[in-house]
Amino acid sequence: MNADVFLIGGGLTPFGEHWDKNIRTLMDEAMSSAIYAASVTALDIDIIVVANMLGQATNYQSHLGALASSLLPHKPPALRVEAACASGSIAIHTACALLESNKAKTALVIGVEKMTDSDADTIAHALMGAADEEHDQSCSLTFPGIFGLIAQRYMYEYGLTRDELSLISTTHHRHALDNPFAQFRMSVSPEDVSNSSMVADPLRLLDCSPISDGAAACILSTESPKRNSRIRIAASQIANDALSITQRPVLTSFPATKDAMERALKEAAISREEIECIELHDCFSIAALINLEDMGFADPGRAVALYQQQSLPVNSSGGLKACGHPVSATGIKQIIDTAKYLKAENHQWGLAQNFGGAGATCGIHILERTS
């Protein structure tokens, strides 16, 4: 990082089905609570970065930068970024770049998605926009289908069993029990997961993150907050890979995660072992395992052991599975939750990993709590 960037406030709407709220009200709610939590006023915000993927396809609303700007009294400049499910972390990355280059002193980053207004087919098609139009979409494949292919191959190569895979969702649901912002605060047993209805063989309903509405906002600033405990963005890295899974050498690993991880550790100048908590992108249960392996916390095929031993705090918030996955809000929510966890547990280093599509974009942020 070319400048010290601090996370000075964060705000979330609960994730879930918000029939009474639209994009504007969701954004307003998250922005207001982020500004309330921060030590600054709305007028200190120099720029807004909005993350959104589906606004045009499902809500007939693009131009979200202007919409976000109109919610603040002084109408600060605003822009929107998109990288499918990684939009959130790309937005943070963009804001960091603006702050590091001194274009702005304080930036508000907001991710928003309103998904429950559309029927299932519309949403499935819109989400497939995150895959390759030419190579992936023509055979009526869906995103659960893509991860079904990945899971099938993973189970074939490493001998992962159905019961082992069910452990992932069970763990994440248990973590969400205490999270008031989570969409599903209920415990789910491994048997429940294994017996839930089939979505895309071998993935079942409880392997998949839900369709959700929600917004997450955070305020980043180069001006250090006058508090005892501060959260600094120690690393912000993004990496990319071939868009289509047909153009990758292997199915069971995402090289973009590996790239982003190596560079993030280098930027933060820490080793992997120093990281004390992780929020990772578990859009499907199998993705959690692949992410842990790609980030180097487990050998290929062995990540399930981390869940069996409970040896590392992974997705203490409940992850995408239990908290819900309003596509573009997720990356920002992960940062906010990581910061919360660092403060609550008095830890120093936390990591958030967020990817888009089938790992074609990956954003990794490392947060440091300093006192």
Query: In the complex, which residues of this chain contact other proteins (CB under 8 A)?
Result: 125, 128, 133-142, 144-145, 148-153, 156-157, 197-203, 245-247, 249-252
Least distance CB 203 / other proteins (angstroms): 8
Query: What is the rounded distance in angstroms from the CA atom of residue 45 to the CA atom of residue 53?
Result: 23
For other proteins, the closer of residues 62 and 152 by Cβ is: 152
Backbone angles phi, psi at 183, to 5 degrees: -75, -40
Quote the radius of gyration of the chain (alpha carbons, Å): 19
For other proteins, the closer of residues 213 and 241 by Cβ is: 241
Give me the catalytic one of 93, 281, 325, 347. Answer: 325
Is 173 among the residues known to form the active site? no
Least distance CB 59 / other proteins (angstroms): 19
Give me the catalytic one of 18, 85, 175, 323. Answer: 85
For other proteins, the closer of residues 203 and 287 by Cβ is: 203
Say which DSSP state 22 is in.
-
Closest of 73, 7, 47 to residue 232, by C-alpha = 7
Whether the CB-CB separation of 329 and 216 falls below 8 Å is answered with yes
The neighbour count for residue 323, using CB atoms within 10 Å, is 34
Is 325 among the residues known to form the active site? yes
Residue written as tokens 């995408």? Answer: 320
Whether the CB-CB separation of 210 and 324 falls below 8 Å is answered with yes
For other proteins, the closer of residues 25 and 152 by Cβ is: 152
Least distance CB 220 / other proteins (angstroms): 34
Query: What is the rounded distance in angstroms from the CA atom of residue 167 to the CA atom of residue 179?
Result: 19
Least distance CB 128 / other proteins (angstroms): 7
Least distance CB 145 / other proteins (angstroms): 5
For other proteins, the closer of residues 248 and 340 by Cβ is: 248
For other proteins, the closer of residues 136 and 337 by Cβ is: 136
Least distance CB 190 / other proteins (angstroms): 21
Across the chain, the runs of DSSP E, i.e. the strands, are 5-12, 47-51, 78-81, 106-114, 198-200, 203-204, 213-221, 230-240, 277-279, 349-356, 361-370
CA dihedral of 206, 125, 249, 306, whole degrees rounded to 10 = -20
* Six-digit token string for 251: 């199915």
Closest of 168, 164, 216 to residue 318, by C-alpha = 168
* Six-digit token string for 183: 């969409």
Catalytic residue positions?
85, 325
